[in-house]
Amino acid sequence: MGQTLLIVESPTKAKTIGKYLGSEYIVKASVGHVRDLPTKELGIEISDGRFEPHYVPMKGKGKIIAELKKAARKADMVLLAPDPDREGEAIAWHIAHELGDKKPVQRVLFHEVTKSAIKKALAEPLQIDENKVNAQQSRRILDRMVGYKISPLLWKTVRRGLSAGRVQSVAVRLVCEREAEIQAFVPVEYWSITTTLEGAAPPPFAAKLHQIDGKKAEISDQESADRVVSDLKQLPCKISKVEKKERKRRPTPPFITSKLQQEAARKLGFSAKKTMMVAQQLYEGIELGAAGPVGLITYMRTDSVRVADSAIAECRDLIVNMFGQDYLPEKTQFYPNKNASQDAHEAIRPTSVGYVPSDIKGYLSKDQLNLYSLIWKRFVASQMNPARYYQTTVSIMAGESYQLRAVGRHQLFDGFLIVYEEGKDNNGDENGADTELPALEEGEVLNLKEILPKQHFTQPPPRFTESTLVKELEEKGIGRPSTYASIMSTIQDRGYVELQEKRFYPTDLGVLVTGLLTKSFPDILSVSFTARMESDLDKVEEGSRDWQELLADFYRPFAAQLDTALETMRDAKKAGEEVTDEICDKCGARMVVKWGRNGRFVACPNFPDCKNTKDLSEVGEGNGENGDLVDVGDCPDCGKPLQLRNGRYGRFISCSNYPECKYTSSVGTGVACPREGCDGELVEKKSRKGKLFYACNRYPKCDYATWDKPYPLACPNCDFPFLVEKKSQSSGEKLLRCPQKDCNYQTKVPIIGLKDKS
């Protein structure tokens, strides 16, 4: 019997599978796609409502294609085994076209890289799924038409090198719209009132004002709050109702791709891209000593929560052996999928729960262990009994008008929580912490110990994190599991958004491009339109939608909008070139504002004869009133006046006699470096992304740095040598706080001498 050629995507997977199979198999890797649309032309012939892509071998893949053809000539049979999704199906289809039809070619699918799964797949070969291939081709052609047709418009109106993406541009729009909501938000004041009450049985407990005259308590100002406090101090407090209920908290389903990315971001601080990279390693195989290479998790691009019966049975046995019979449900836990089309894959789970994280940690990197542990715990927990607790709700009447409420919770059984608890984007538990209430009886009169009124302000919607943006895309039906990670990376790589302190901020460039595209291409930038397109692509995969009709339905209105945009799209290059009062110090011309790779900057209008440029912050208000430079003393080198300037890397001090005198120094804060043994001063610095921070001027000898602006005021509580500026989350007011974690001192920023005029 001759040999069979098995072609997979990844060299790592090829190595793992090769060790499972005998000498009758040759295992090769395509290293991803081998063909694609050409890079320097549209590559799509559009004629009579038909769209014919012209595929060419990808750059650098010639040698790999030649090796695959050579191996195919030696084999009796070719089996194509790329990943089990649209992209994998398309890769198999492209490889088959490159190899030709001289040898029989079949498709094999396995959702986990284990010996049993591979043997089973080899015994059940399939034909290439044309519907999946057409769904992938549709997506590729749509993305190419949008990118290839719109990007030159951006080159013409903004700057060269910009690009538009069918899905990524919508993600940027979501970030821009969220930022606009935040900027337009007007905080509204409100007050809460919490009392401390004591009954016959200790200890005292907290109760919040819940209703006034039978309606929800709404207190809008301090005067109203003071009036309520005054009333409560004089009124008797009596328990009107004690309600006890047993409640259950059920486990969450095993991971799908989006939920894995969200949870890895919350708990591990992973980007979506990193999560998928590490998951790919776990899927393709890890060397486990004598056991050899083992694929530890099932395929990690999935919308399905379905789990194989054999995996559930193994998990149930482990639960009994590791945690006890009480933790095992009488019946198997099943979780429904949103729709039938998602059932093609299983959920993301361990290939065997027998690979307990603590047992194999010596073979895994830190990132691999953390992600595998997350997947293992979530899956095991999904098959365990719910947590059970008593919730006690106590209603208390203060006189006839005021109702107070206290809620307590007592856990009866931890259930699945012994293994795993899902993280929250707001870092809080929706059920509240366990709070024990004392024994309380209806009709009991309580003693009022304390009343605490507290001022609050409504908060704007939070900026997106990677976790919440993935969640938003998923909920709105934008993108698919295989695309979330690339969306997160692409919108940052293109300079349309920045990730600061794990939150997305739109750049000036992102806001500009989004505004231009939204006006000229309302459908392309429409959330509902993009979601509907994703649904149509699913229908193509199911065989219920013709892919050529889908492309034609998209292209007709798109082509019309494109023709209009060519005539009407605002030229931001010209609009942005407003003349400034800044005089070019090389040729004397008045400099103009231009758009560049990192946003707006100031340049000489005589380019290319004069190539002088400046950061936008170097002119106008950044240097003082009407562009005048601020005098900050005399130069120690030549005695001329020193001046405060703004540069690409933040504010700095330089000699006014430049270029004859090149003296410069950082802007000091007057705060001594707190690191022991260091005699440096904290000075202003600016990060590569333009964010201000404060670092020791003895760097690199001392690497102390802080994001918070320091003030030369010692903390009166703990004597720490300086305080830092923080913005109040409730009122938005600037406060000075002690940076020591165990010190809670804070005060308002003094008006004289210290308050930041900027």
Q: Are 682 and 667 in contact (CB under 8 A)?
A: no
pLDDT(746) > 90: no
From the number of C-beta atoms within 10 Å of its C-beta (0-12, 13-18, 19+), residue 496 rates as buried
Q: Contact at 8 Å (CB) between 466 and 491?
A: no
Pick the CATH number of 257-382 from 3.30.930.10, 3.40.50.720, 1.10.10.10, 1.10.290.10: 1.10.290.10
pLDDT in tens, 86-133: 999 999 999 999 998 888 999 999 899 999 899 999 999 999 999 999
Query: What phi and psi, each to the nearest 5 degrees, are found at residue 74?
Result: -85, -20
pLDDT tens readout for residues 587-613: 888 888 776 655 567 888 888 888 888
Q: Would you say 448 and 193 are in contact if contact means Cβ atoms under 8 Å apart? A: no
Q: CB–CB of 139/536 below 8 Å?
A: no
Question: 537 with 138: CB under 8 angstroms?
Answer: yes
Question: Which amino acid is located at 254 in the chain?
Answer: P
Are 458 and 187 in contact, with CB atoms under 8 Å apart?
Answer: yes
Strands 56-57 and 50-53: unpaired
Concerning whether 55 is annotated as a catalytic residue, the answer is no
Q: Where in the chain is the domain with CATH 2.70.20.10?
A: 189-250+387-457
| CA proximity to 456, closest of 728, 229, 190 | 190
Q: How confident is the model at residue 274 (pLDDT cuts 50, 70, 90)?
A: very high
Position 336 pLDDT exceeds 50:
yes
Give the C-alpha separation, 426 to 418, whole Å: 22
Positive or negative, the CA dihedral 574, 577, 579, 585 is negative
Distance between CA atoms of residues 492 and 505, nearest Å: 10
Residue 653: its pLDDT value, please? 76
Most distant pair of Cα atoms in the chain: their distance: 97
> Look-up: residue for tokens 């209806």?
442
Q: For 147-154, what is the mean pLDDT?
A: 92
Is pLDDT above 90 for 508? Answer: no
Topology given in CATH for the domain delimited by 138-184+462-568: Topoisomerase I; domain 2 (1.10.460)
pLDDT score, position 655: 79
Q: What is the pLDDT of residue 729?
A: 59
Predicted pLDDT at 599: 59
Pairing of strands 723-727, 734-737: antiparallel
CATH 1.10.460.10 spans which residues of the chain?
138-184+462-568
* pLDDT of 630 over the 70 cut: no
Give 405's pLDDT tier (boundaries 50, 70, 90).
Answer: very high
Least confident of 109-118, 147-156, 632-641: 632-641
- Taking 80 as the threshold, does the pLDDT of residue 534 lie above it? yes
pLDDT tens column, 57-97: 999 999 999 999 999 999 999 999 999 999 999 999 999 99
| pLDDT at position 17 over 90 | yes
Q: Is the pLDDT of residue 432 over 70?
A: no
Rounded distance between C-alpha atoms, residue 660 and residue 581, angstroms:
24
Q: What is the DSSP letter of 624?
A: S
What is the per-residue pLDDT for 595? Answer: 66
Residues of the chain with CATH 3.40.50.140: 4-128
Amino acid residing at 672: A
Rounded-to-integer distance, Cα 123 and Cα 143, Å: 37
Average pLDDT over residues 660-685: 81
Least confident of 184-188, 189-193, 690-694: 690-694
The H or E element that residue 19 is part of is helix 11-20
pLDDT digits (tens, 9 = 90+) for 434-484: 688 999 999 999 999 999 999 988 888 999 999 999 999 999 999 888 899
Of residues 477, 500, 475, 504, the one with CA closest to residue 490? 504
pLDDT category at 758 given cuts 50, 70, 90 is very low
Neighbour tally for 140: CB within 10 Å = 20
Rounded-to-10 torsion of CA 476, 481, 485, 486 = -90
Rounded Cα–Cα distance for residues 567 and 28 (Å) = 51
367 secondary structure, DSSP code: H
Which residue from 496, 537, 555, 573 is spatially nearest to 149, judged by alpha carbons? 555
CATH code, 189-250+387-457: 2.70.20.10
- Phi, psi for residue 33 in degrees, rounded to 5: -65, 150
Read off the pLDDT band of 134 (50, 70, 90).
very high
Q: What is the pLDDT of residue 640?
A: 81
Please tell me the distance from the alpha carbon of residue 342 to that of residue 273, in angstroms, as a whole number: 22
Provide the β-strand partners of residue 395: 241, 405
Out of 20, 283, 299, 327, the active site residue is 299
Confidence of residue 291 (pLDDT cuts 50, 70, 90): confident
- HSE-CB for 635 with a 13 A CA cutoff: 19
Rounded to an integer, the average pLDDT of 228-243 is: 95
What average pLDDT is seen over the chain? 87
CB 483 within 8 A of CB 289: no
Looking at the chain, which residues constitute the CATH 1.10.290.10 domain(s)? 257-382
Q: Is 90 in a helix, a strand, or coil?
A: helix
CATH code 3.40.50.300 for 4-128: no
Average pLDDT over residues 356-364: 96
| Kind of pairing between the strands at 105-107 and 746-748 | unpaired
pLDDT at 68: 95
- Determine the pLDDT at residue 709: 86
